[in-house]
Amino acid sequence: MGDLVEFKNTMIDNKAIARIFNEIADLLEIKGDNPFRIRSYRNAATVIETFGESFEKLVREGTVDLQSISGIGEAISGKIKEIVETGDCKAHRDLLKEIPPTLLEIMQLQGVGPKTTAMLWKKMGVTTVEGVEQLAAAGKLRDLAGLGEKSEQKILQSIQNRKKVSGRHLLGDAEQTAHQILDYLHAGPPEKKKRAKTARQKTTSFLAVPAGSLRRGRETIGDVDILVAGKNCEAIIDRFTQFPEVESVLAHGDTKGSVQLKSGLQIDLRVVEEKSFGAALQYFTGSKEHSVALRSRAQKMGYTINEYGLFKVDKKGEKEEWLAGRTEEEIYERLKLQFIPPELRENRGEIEAAEKRELPALIELKNVRGDLHMHTTETDGKATLQEMVEAARSRGLEYVAITDHTKSTRVANGMDEKRLESQIQTIEKLKRKTTGITILKGTECDILADGKLDLSDTVLEQLDLVVVSIHSHFNQSPQEITDRLERAFSNPHVKIFAHPTGRMLFHRPPYAVDVEKLFALAKKHKVCLELNSQPERLDLNDVHLRMARDQGVPIVISTDSHDTSQLDHLKYGVLTARRGWLEPRHVANTLPVKQFLKAIART
């Protein structure tokens, strides 16, 4: 082997590397550097952040030439190595010496971009958001070139908004809001003029669907995009801007409206003609990275795509002929691609797979036959055992596992052996009266700090399904967590590890679990990993799921319901699974109950 490189004893994950490159891009923007150079850094950041393997590992092992990865060339590959080896990047450090880092916060403000940020800094000597706020409040921003009274107010407003709004929203919340707005738009057909009864029946019909990251099923949503196809656009946009929850109207044009709701969520609405609906849906579904890649492909094929359609281009680069755009399908077809489901559109290899006609046959909600994680009033659930079972059956599930908490989780009124044995009796009785659904006796048993389980084997062996999870001692080191899991998984009763990283979106980062080691342990002991469908968990996440899939780690999708209505959260789990490229064959609870139990048996 060549020279030995000293590695700093710090964890540099892909996210950290990506953050440095994004920051370099931001700083270069403020400097007014070459926009294409900036794009390269941003592009590289995206590639790194969404790459299936750890760059730290790639660098350390030295088996992969980083420059063979698309988007990473000589300069950036050198910087990646530098970051992994030293934990730092000189170019980044130099930029920070040149440009006050607090300018990056100014650039985050709505309506303030790199140009304005640079001007504020150079002309006014302002480097902090507070400084901008003072100048705006004193009416001193309006004198700057390109800014006026309105811009000044807008900037002031966005500083105040910033204090109120966190930025992103849970998929579940955004989805509900989107549907409220769609219902609202449909409830009041767009009519401007009062008409006689007969004429009123002729109200314009229109089609409205969510697009953007919501349609792609991302775990958090920045703002909601809604696409409308129809005529009478102004009336639709008018009505949209009058939605009762609107706090302020950000834009109100002929084809586009944008509002901020009281919840802080921003909603953008676009109206297009039916002829362009597919093109617009593709365009506004994104992701940006996917669309950029798609367009560059179109360009190479002599086409250009925008939100109105796919056009043939002549030699001068002028649009010549409209070729497609009514549906998304026809656009992908023109580009000689298999139709790419929205959840895959992240430029993580889906275009290459679609070219080879090798896209996965993604799992669908109807494929999931059982829900293997739910609670009842016996611990911290809101519905009784009977209510949960009935609600599951009415949703068409073939089996459920009742998995209440165990005694260590005191806040949830966790059960000891005695109470669980009593619940087992109750379930046995209910089973005799119940048809149309199989009830599995289970537990969500705590893994104690040292890896022991919270219940004795004599109870565990009476159960159909032992789900285990971590609810305490979140601050253990990666090694301690690995040891803890190794010991827990060694218990032959353990079948499923629930919410494997423990993260709670916006509340709590994952505990320091080494995901690669976790996967190895799960495979070794034949323990399934759960994809928890709660919108604030979605754990494992999409990137982990894809890694698990590639490594052959068995997955189950469950809701962890604490109420009957939460059984519907399964759809968020399935969306996330689709984002992880999972097919039904990767998910154990797509099997009928007998085969499922056989598949997860460890002997």
Partner DNA sequence: GCCGTTTTCGGCCCGACTGTTTTCAGTCG
Q: Which residue ranges make up the site for DNA (CB under 7 A)? A: 34, 36-37, 39-41, 43-44, 67, 69-77, 91, 109-117, 142, 145-152, 154, 212, 222-223, 225, 251-256, 266, 268, 284, 288, 291-292, 295-296, 299-300, 304-308
Of all residues in the chain, what percent are helix, strand and coil, respectively (each to 5)?
45, 15, 35
Q: What is the DSSP letter of 343?
A: G
Question: Minimum Å distance from CB 535 to DNA?
Answer: 22
**CB-wise, 151 or 476, nearer to DNA?**
151
Residue 129, classed as helix, strand or coil, is: helix
Q: How many CB atoms lie within 10 A of CB 257?
A: 26
Strand order in the sheet with 246-252: 207-210, 223-229, 266-272, 256-261, 246-252
**Shortest separation between residue 349's beta carbon and DNA, angstroms:** 14
**Nearest-approach distance from CB 130 to DNA, in angstroms:** 19
Nearer to DNA, 145 or 196 (CB): 145
Q: Where are the beta strands (DSSP E) in 64-177?
A: 169-170
β-bridge partners, 266: 223, 260
For DNA, which is the closer residue by CB, 315 or 433? 315
| Close Cβ partners of 58 (under 8 Å, ≥ 6 residues apart) | 64, 66
Cβ-contact 497, 469 below 8 angstroms? yes
Distance CA 411, CA 37 (A): 53
Three-class secondary structure of residue 72 per DSSP? coil
Minimum gap (Å) between residue 231 Cβ and DNA: 15
Task: Compute the distance between CA of residue 354 and CA of residue 319 in angstroms, rounded to an integer.
Answer: 26
Burial call 486-517: b when 16+ CB within 10 Å, e when fewer: bebbebebbbbbbbbbbbebeeeebbbbbbeb
CB of 158 to DNA, least distance (A): 8
Quote the least distance from Cβ 344 to DNA, whole Å: 19
Residue 226 or residue 587: which is nearer to DNA going by CB?
A: 226
Least CB distance to DNA at residue 329 (A): 21
Rank residues 28 and 468 by Cβ distance to DNA and give the closer one: 28
Q: How far is the CB of 254 from DNA (least distance, A)?
A: 5
- In the bound state with DNA, the residue whose beta carbon lies nearer, of 315 and 429, is 315
Nearer Cβ to DNA, position 232 or 426? 232
Helix axes 171-187, 570-579, angle to 10 degrees: 110
Instruction: Tell the smallest beta-carbon distance from residue 477 to DNA (Å).
Output: 35
Nearest partner of 578 among 212, 287, 216, judged by Cα: 216
Judged on CB neighbours under 10 Å (0-12, 13-18, 19+), 587 is buried
Rounded distance between C-alpha atoms, residue 363 and residue 343, angstroms = 11
With respect to DNA, which residue has the nearer C-beta, 136 or 427?
136
Give yes or no for a contact between 579 and 542, defined as CB atoms under 8 angstroms apart: yes
Sort strands 169-170 and 465-469 into parallel, antiparallel or unpaired. Answer: unpaired
Given the complex with DNA, which of 145 and 187 has the nearer CB atom?
145
Q: Report the residue number, 355 or 568, with the smaller CB distance to DNA.
A: 355
Nearer to DNA, 101 or 111 (CB): 111
In the bound complex, what is the minimum distance in angstroms from residue 153's beta carbon to DNA?
8
Smallest distance, DNA to C-beta of residue 86, A: 18
Q: Closest approach of Cβ 99 to DNA, in Å? A: 15
Provide the 3-class DSSP secondary structure of residue 561. strand
Reduced to 3 states (helix: H, G, I; strand: E, B; else coil), residue 135 is helix
Assess contact for 451 and 488: CB atoms under 8 A.
yes
The rounded distance, in Å, linking the Cα atoms of 478 and 235 is 57
Q: Which residues, in sequence order, are bridge partners of residue 210?
A: 226
Separation CA 246–CA 260 (nearest Å): 6
User: Whose Cβ is closer to DNA: residue 252's or residue 517's?
Assistant: 252
DSSP state of 274: G
